[in-house]
Structure 1
Amino acid sequence: MTPLQQLCQRNLELLQRLDIAHRLVEHEPVLDYSTAHAVRQRFGLRGVESKSLFLRFGAERYAMLVTLEGARADWTRLKALLGSRPRIASDEELIEHTGCVPMCACPFGHDTRITLLIDRAVLACDFLLYSPGPPELTLEVPGGELPRLLAALPNAQLEYP
């Protein structure tokens, strides 16, 4: 099983273990928001697309910023939260540390050494749409269930902004 398949399995098992209602759809690879919008319309998916930025900060430390489509990173706030200036990790770092495909970073299910930066706006959405890893899959998860999902993750979490 590839790291990407393992990531997907971890995400699906977490939702099942927590008994969180979700919808999984299979489609063409989604590597940009225009394709994501077309998939959302075709399958009648509800909710807002997630945006996950894999960041590197300090000496070989990593964080995943979990926010919503269209959100812009506030680099000053990120530096204050993380204690040092972050930068977007390279594609190679993303693949090595998460197994994700560039342009399709999964927000959850990663190694415990990866800190999660959770945008409060994510918790306010009715439904969150995100890839569990493979760009050919999209999950629709009720926003009201996200606090339970986050509480079950072993990663350190910081509220953003």
Structure 2
Amino acid sequence: MAMVTNSEITMLNNLKPYKTTWKVEVKVIRSWSQQSNYSGENTFEFLLEDMMGSEIYCTCKRIFLARVKNLQVGQWRFLENFSVYPAIGMYRLSGHKFKISITQCSIVTNSSLTTCEVPSIDHNKESSSEDLPTSGSKRKEGDADLNDMNSTSKKLCG
């Protein structure tokens, strides 16, 4: 039986730890493997960004790697059914207060977005949040303060 997926897309700034059926549309900014001396287990790590420029850290244990094999740097994907945990520790890769963890139920599917289609965000204009499509979620006033102003992923296609 196929798993029913969530059709509503959530912006990264709106993720909360109380459920696991989120659906986000993200681009992979960076990916790498990580060896843990503590557990001896390899993990795969990702830095993800949504169309609003919000970034979040994502981790995946080796046993779930097949679930995220389509997460490739620079590509837009839908990511569904994952866990959200508080991001703690001194060395955080994003300013987001949560992190994503891939689970046995996680699904990655292709998005129709390309880097060229995502509008460039002018964080200095208040009206910019009204001009951007948000795929079902409304951007709150003040969210621009949470975005990474130095992200290199917002380059225009040339």
Scaled by the length of structure 1, the TM-score of the pair is 0.25
Normalized per residue, the structure richer in helix is: 1
Higher Rg: 2
TM-score between both structures, scaled by the size of structure 2: 0.26
